[in-house]
Amino acid sequence: MTPSFFGTDGVRGRVGIEPICPSTILDLGWAIGKTLGSTGRSAPVLIGKDTRLSGYMLESALEAGLCSAGVNIILLGPLPTPGIAYLTRMTEASAGIVISGSHNPHYDNGIKIFSGTGDKMNDQSLAGIEDLMKQSPDCVAAAFLGKASRMDDARDRYIQYCKNTIDPKTSFKGLHVVLDCANGAAYDVAPKVFSEMGAEVTTMHVEPDGYNINQECGSTDMRHLKSMVCEVGADLGIAFDGDADRVLMVDEQGLEVNGDQILYILACHRKRAGKYVAGVVGTILSNLGLEESLKTMDIRFARTRVGDRYVQEEMIKNGWDLGGETSGHIICLDKSTTGDGIVSALEVLVAMRESGKSLNQLAAAMKHYPQYAVNIPVESGESAAIECHPVVQNAVSSIEQQLGISGRIVLRESGTEPFFRVMLEGENEKQLQVLADRVVNAIQQVISA
């Protein structure tokens, strides 16, 4: 059963508009509590958030809903999403809830739910929560109400965990790193992790004010990071998104290193270190060059629909440790249960140190096909009709014939924003733009009709 309330990464939307409003989030908290058990004796639920101003409001609404269902809560404060997943698992909590709009602007927000194992809650459990939200919430007797407390050392615990994911003898002394923390959840922990590992750290966008999260910074806008890396002569730059489950990088020449290249670097490093790398999981958007480059190393590659939870499901099914998305969700299942920007970046630095190569040299070893993407604004419910419309299907069929085996076209509905996305990939970048215009015109023709 696939829930409709939850998208590819929880529930997300504009603050103050359904479903991101206090009454609905209170109902969500109550439904989560009822699902976990309303006896007051079950393990507590952890709640963490990013740095958006609206996080206070949503945190209070969740707290009220959970307490009314008789569930105790531990508040973590601002912390990266993977940190919340880690603490949920390590404290044996009933669940972990993340209040974050991820890479979106401050006026958006969302809710992600982790099970007690630190994994994203599955569709069946989410559907059960959604069904409960259709009921009128009640309240347990006063003697059984939940209560809230705070974990004051949550950040310190997560910092130590990140450092423990690599050999404790490792030192990054001599490496100069620029960190762009997107004025988000990593603003405090990321600089401490890399500094304590010996790196020289220059920080950017580490002064959140509730409004400036992801604003012309972080992994969604790397212009300033690229300039800073070149200006200070750093060895690399690291960009996180608002909740730090994504990471993208900039090499010493100011060139972007995306999630596909990071996956390739990690796979190569592990194989070079003598570890068994049976396969890597990507998505339908992963570059064709990643697949071909892995094949030359006898490493299998599998694709899923977009969304790190689907990547993780495929990894578990295949028994593989590495997977991720072009956007920078990198999952190392031998280290974490979810995408972790800081942990992934640490392993890239280890690869640089042990290989003696620069980030540019490591990334350049992966073959890369040009990609061209377009986002088309759509109304709710339009995407399904667009994709199956004969006018669009005819355009896609014609384009696929022209691209042949050295190219692809991918149409999909965004799971987080009101867009219909078009992506073309092939050997000729100029041809991609021309072909993209053709399919966009077909889509707009359907929308207008």
Pair 204, 181: CB distance under 8 Å = yes
- Asked whether residue 6 is assigned to any structural domain, the reply reads no
Q: Which of 341, 364, 387 delimits the end of a domain?
A: 364
Question: What is the domain count for the chain?
Answer: 3
Structure tokens at 317: 């099914």
Amino acid at 83: G
Tell how far CA 19 is from the center of its chain: 21
- Asked whether residue 128 is assigned to any structural domain, the reply reads yes
For 358-395, the pLDDT digits (tens) are 999 999 999 999 999 999 988 876 777 788 899 999 99
- In three state form, how does the secondary structure of 174-198 look? CCEEEEECCCCCCCCHHHHHHHHCC
The verdict on 106 and 162 lying in the same domain is no
- Asked whether residue 424 is assigned to any structural domain, the reply reads yes
- Asked whether residue 57 is assigned to any structural domain, the reply reads yes
Distance in angstroms (rounded) separating the CA atoms of residues 230 and 421? 33
Range of the domain at 22: 11-152
Q: Across residues 248-270, what is the average pLDDT?
A: 98
Identify the pLDDT of residue 42.
72
127-131, 214-218, 416-420, 433-437, range with the lowest pLDDT: 416-420
The verdict on 110 and 194 lying in the same domain is no
Pair 205, 196: CB distance under 8 Å = no
Q: Which of 82, 117, 152 delimits the end of a domain?
A: 152
Q: Across residues 140-147, what is the average pLDDT?
A: 94
Complete DSSP assignment for 27-73: HHHHHHHHHH-SSS-SPPEEEEE-S-THHHHHHHHHHHHHHHTT--E
The strand pair at 108-115 and 11-14 is best described as antiparallel
pTM score of the predicted model: 0.91
The verdict on 108 and 196 lying in the same domain is no
- Asked whether residue 404 is assigned to any structural domain, the reply reads yes
In the set 54, 102, 219, 293, the catalytic residue is: 102
Return the CATH number at 120: 3.40.120.10
The verdict on 345 and 206 lying in the same domain is yes
CA quadruple 395, 396, 397, 402: dihedral, nearest 10 = 90
The verdict on 68 and 121 lying in the same domain is yes
Q: Across residues 272-298, what is the average pLDDT?
A: 95
Identify the pLDDT of residue 38.
47
Calculate the alpha carbon distances from 416 to 10, 220, 283, 306 in Å: 9, 14, 16, 11
For 172-185, the pLDDT digits (tens) are 999 999 999 999 99
102 is catalytic: yes
Pair 362, 265: CB distance under 8 Å = yes
Structure tokens at 274: 């003598």
Structure tokens at 406: 């050295």
Structure tokens at 256: 């972007």
Distance in angstroms (rounded) separating the CA atoms of residues 434 and 428? 10
Neighbours of 375 (CB within 10 A): 13
Identify the pLDDT of residue 392.
92
Identify the pLDDT of residue 446.
87
- Whether 1 has a pLDDT exceeding 60, the answer reads no
State the sign of the Cα–Cα–Cα–Cα dihedral 430, 431, 436, 441.
positive
Largest CA distance in the chain: 69
The verdict on 231 and 319 lying in the same domain is yes
Q: What residues does 331 pair with on adjacent strands?
A: 323
- Whether 3 has a pLDDT exceeding 80, the answer reads no
- Whether 8 has a pLDDT exceeding 80, the answer reads no
Pair 267, 283: CB distance under 8 Å = no
- Whether 39 has a pLDDT exceeding 50, the answer reads no
